[in-house]
Structure 1
Amino acid sequence: MPEVVEKKSSFKKTVRDEVKSERLGDLLRKDGQITKFQLDEALAAQKKSGGRLGQTLISLGFIDEETIINFLSRQLNFPIAHISEMQVSEDVVKLVPYETSKEHFVFPINITNGTLTIATSDPTNNRAIEDIQMKTKLSIKVSLSTEKEIVTAYKKYYKISDEEFNSFLKKSGGEVEEKVILEEVDDFGSLVSEVTEEIDIEKDEGEAVKEAFGAGDAPIIKLVNGIMTKAIKLGVSDIHIEPFEKIFYVRYRLDGALYKSMSLPLQIKNAIISRIKIMANLNIAERRVPQDGRIKLKLGKTKSIDFRVSVLPTLWGESIVMRILNPESLMLDFKKLGFSEDTLKKFNKAIERPQGMIVITGPTGSGKTNTLYSAINKLNDPSVKILTAEDPVEFNFAGINQVLVRNEVGMTYAAALKAFLRQDPEIILVGETRDMETAEICIKAAMTGHLVFTTLHTNDTPSTIGRLIDIGIPSYLVAAAVNLILAQRLLRRICTNCKEPVATLDKEELIEIGFPENEIASLQGKIMHGKGCPKCNGTGYKGRVGVYEVMEITEAVQKAIVSHVPEDHLRKIAIKEGMITLRMDALNKVREGISTIEQVIENTVMAKEALPAYLLNPDELTFENGDLIIKEGNTDKNFYQLLQGQLIISKNEKVISEITQPGEYFGEMSALTNEPRSATVRAKGKSIVKVFPGEKLKETIENYPDISLRIIHSLIRRINETDRRLTQ
Structure 2
Amino acid sequence: MKRTVKDQSGAGKLKIGELLSKAGYITATQFEEAKAIQKKTGERLGRILLESGAIERDTIANFLSRMHNYPLVVIDQEAPSREALDLVPYETAKRFMAFPLRLAGNTLQVTMAEPTDSLDVEQLQDVVQKSLNVCVSTAKDIIDAYKKYYQISDEEYHSFFKFEPEGEEDTVTQVDDFGALVSDAAEDFEIESSGADEGAYEQFSASDAPIIKLVNGILVKAVQEGVSDIHIEPFEKTMQVRYRKDGSLFKSMNLPLTIKNAMAARMKILAGLNITERRVPQDGRIKIRLGRNKAVDFRVSTLPLLHGEGIVLRILDKSSLNVDLTKLGFTVDTFAALKRCLQRPQGLLLVTGPTGSGKTVTLYSALNSLNTEDIKILTAEDPVEFNFKGINQVNVNAEVGMTFAAALKAFLRQDPDIIMVGEIRDIETAEIAMKAAMTGHLVFSTLHTNDSPATVSRMVDIGIPSYILASSLTMVLSQRLGRRLCQKCKIPAEYDRHTLLSAGFKESELDDLKLFKAKGCPECNGLGYRGRVGFFELMEVTEAVAEAIQAEVSEEQLRKVAIQEGMYTLREAGLQKAREGVTSLEEVLKRTVAHEDSLPAYLVNPDVEEYEDGDVIIQEGNKDKDFFKLIRGKVAVLRSGKKIAEITEPGEYFGEMAAILEEPRSASIISVGRCTIKRYPGDKLNELIEKYPEVSRHLFRTLVERLQKTDRIVVQLASATKIRPPQVIRQA
What TM-score do you get using the length of structure 1 for normalisation?
Answer: 0.55
Residues 242 and 599 (structure 1 numbering): CA distance in 2 closer, same or farther, change over 3 Å?
same
1:117-149 CA-partner distances (Å, limit 9, x unpaired)? xxxxxxxxxxxxxxxxxxxxxxxxxxxxxxxxx
How far apart, in 1, do the equivalents of 2:245 and 2:331 lie? 24
Give the match for residue 555 of structure 1: 543
Give the match for residue 313 of structure 1: 304
Give the match for residue 194 of structure 1: 177
**TM alignment of 1:623-638, pairs within 5 A:** none
How far apart, in 2, do the equivalents of 1:490 and 1:305 lie? 23
Deviation at 1:301, TM superposition (A): 2.8
CA contact (8 A) 1:305 1:327 kept: yes
Give the match for residue 388 of structure 1: 379
Give the match for residue 496 of structure 2: 506
Deviation at 1:260, TM superposition (A): 1.0
How far apart, in 2, do the equivalents of 1:612 and 1:547 lie? 21
Partner AA of 1:432 in structure 2: E
Matched, 1:338 2:329: yes
Give the match for residue 157 of structure 1: none
Give the match for residue 406 of structure 2: 415
Partner AA of 1:341 in structure 2: V
CA contact (8 A) 1:492 1:599 kept: yes
Give the match for residue 362 of structure 1: 353
Matched, 1:542 2:525: no
1:387-446 CA-partner distances (Å, limit 9, x unpaired)? 000001000011110000000110000000000000000000000000000000000000
CA contact (8 A) 2:178 2:217 kept: no
CA contact (8 A) 2:172 2:256 kept: no
Residues 342 and 540 (structure 1 numbering): CA distance in 2 closer, same or farther, change over 3 Å?
same
Give the match for residue 516 of structure 1: 506
How far apart, in 1, do the equivalents of 2:297 and 2:557 lie? 45
Give the match for residue 114 of structure 1: none
1:284 to 275, 285, 295: 275
Matched, 1:472 2:463: yes
Deviation at 1:611, TM superposition (A): 8.9
Give the match for residue 256 of structure 1: 247
Deviation at 1:269, TM superposition (A): 1.2
Deviation at 1:263, TM superposition (A): 1.1
Secondary structure at the aligned position of 1:579 is classed as coil
How far apart, in 1, do the equivalents of 2:263 and 2:535 lie? 38
2:554 to 557, 562, 566: 566
How far apart, in 2, do the equivalents of 1:342 and 1:216 lie? 61
Give the match for residue 567 of structure 2: 579
Deviation at 1:190, TM superposition (A): 8.0
Residues 247 and 379 (structure 1 numbering): CA distance in 2 closer, same or farther, change over 3 Å?
same
Give the match for residue 228 of structure 1: 219
**TM alignment of 1:122-271, pairs within 5 A:** 192=175, 194=177, 217-271=208-262
RMSD of aligned Cα (Å): 2.5
Deviation at 1:506, TM superposition (A): 2.5
Deviation at 1:610, TM superposition (A): 4.8
Partner AA of 1:256 in structure 2: G
Secondary structure at the aligned position of 2:527 is classed as coil
Deviation at 1:189, TM superposition (A): 10
Residues 217 and 473 (structure 1 numbering): CA distance in 2 closer, same or farther, change over 3 Å?
same
CA contact (8 A) 1:216 1:275 kept: no
Deviation at 1:273, TM superposition (A): 1.1
Give the match for residue 324 of structure 1: 315
Deviation at 1:559, TM superposition (A): 1.0
CA contact (8 A) 1:475 1:561 kept: yes
1:482 to 455, 458, 473: 473
How far apart, in 2, do the equivalents of 1:189 and 1:326 lie? 29
How far apart, in 2, do the equivalents of 1:493 and 1:611 lie? 29
Deviation at 1:505, TM superposition (A): 2.5
How far apart, in 2, do the equivalents of 1:528 and 1:437 lie? 48
Matched, 1:530 2:518: yes
Matched, 1:295 2:281: no
Q: Which runs of 5+ in 1 are unaligned?
A: 1-187, 197-212, 617-698, 705-728
CA contact (8 A) 1:356 1:483 kept: yes
Residues 434 and 244 (structure 1 numbering): CA distance in 2 closer, same or farther, change over 3 Å?
same
Secondary structure at the aligned position of 2:356 is classed as coil
1:441-463 CA-partner distances (Å, limit 9, x unpaired)? 00000000000000000000000
Partner AA of 1:542 in structure 2: R
How far apart, in 2, do the equivalents of 1:557 and 1:269 lie? 55
1:449-505 CA-partner distances (Å, limit 9, x unpaired)? 000000000000000000000000000000000011000000000112222222x33
Secondary structure at the aligned position of 2:297 is classed as strand
Q: Which runs of 5+ in 2 are unaligned?
A: 1-170, 180-203, 605-689, 695-732
How far apart, in 2, do the equivalents of 1:347 and 1:465 lie? 18
Secondary structure at the aligned position of 1:240 is classed as strand
Residues 214 and 292 (structure 1 numbering): CA distance in 2 closer, same or farther, change over 3 Å?
farther
What TM-score do you get using the length of structure 2 for normalisation?
Answer: 0.54
Give the match for residue 447 of structure 2: 456
CA contact (8 A) 2:238 2:255 kept: yes
Deviation at 1:518, TM superposition (A): 2.1
Matched, 1:405 2:422: no
How far apart, in 2, do the equivalents of 1:224 and 1:595 lie? 35
How far apart, in 1, do the equivalents of 2:176 and 2:471 lie? 63
Number of residue-to-residue matches in the alignment: 412
Secondary structure at the aligned position of 1:285 is classed as coil
Deviation at 1:333, TM superposition (A): 1.7
Secondary structure at the aligned position of 1:357 is classed as strand
How far apart, in 1, do the equivalents of 2:333 and 2:487 lie? 25
Identity %: 61
Deviation at 1:316, TM superposition (A): 1.2
1:663-693 CA-partner distances (Å, limit 9, x unpaired)? xxxxxxxxxxxxxxxxxxxxxxxxxxxxxxx
CA contact (8 A) 1:215 1:274 kept: no
How far apart, in 1, do the equivalents of 2:418 and 2:592 lie? 32
Deviation at 1:224, TM superposition (A): 1.0
1:226-271 CA-partner distances (Å, limit 9, x unpaired)? 1111111110000000011222110000000011111111011111
Partner AA of 1:396 in structure 2: N
Partner AA of 2:507 in structure 1: E
Secondary structure at the aligned position of 1:217 is classed as helix
CA contact (8 A) 1:568 1:611 kept: no
Residues 374 and 189 (structure 1 numbering): CA distance in 2 closer, same or farther, change over 3 Å?
farther
Residues 521 and 610 (structure 1 numbering): CA distance in 2 closer, same or farther, change over 3 Å?
closer
How far apart, in 2, do the equivalents of 1:277 and 1:506 lie? 53
1:571-625 CA-partner distances (Å, limit 9, x unpaired)? 0111111100000000000000000011011100012535999xx9xxxxxxxxx
How far apart, in 2, do the equivalents of 1:507 and 1:276 lie? 53
Secondary structure at the aligned position of 1:434 is classed as coil
Deviation at 1:507, TM superposition (A): 2.1
1:683-715 CA-partner distances (Å, limit 9, x unpaired)? xxxxxxxxxxxxxxxx99xxx9xxxxxxxxxxx
CA contact (8 A) 1:240 1:319 kept: yes
Partner AA of 1:277 in structure 2: K
Residues 251 and 214 (structure 1 numbering): CA distance in 2 closer, same or farther, change over 3 Å?
farther
Give the match for residue 375 of structure 1: 366
Secondary structure at the aligned position of 2:407 is classed as helix
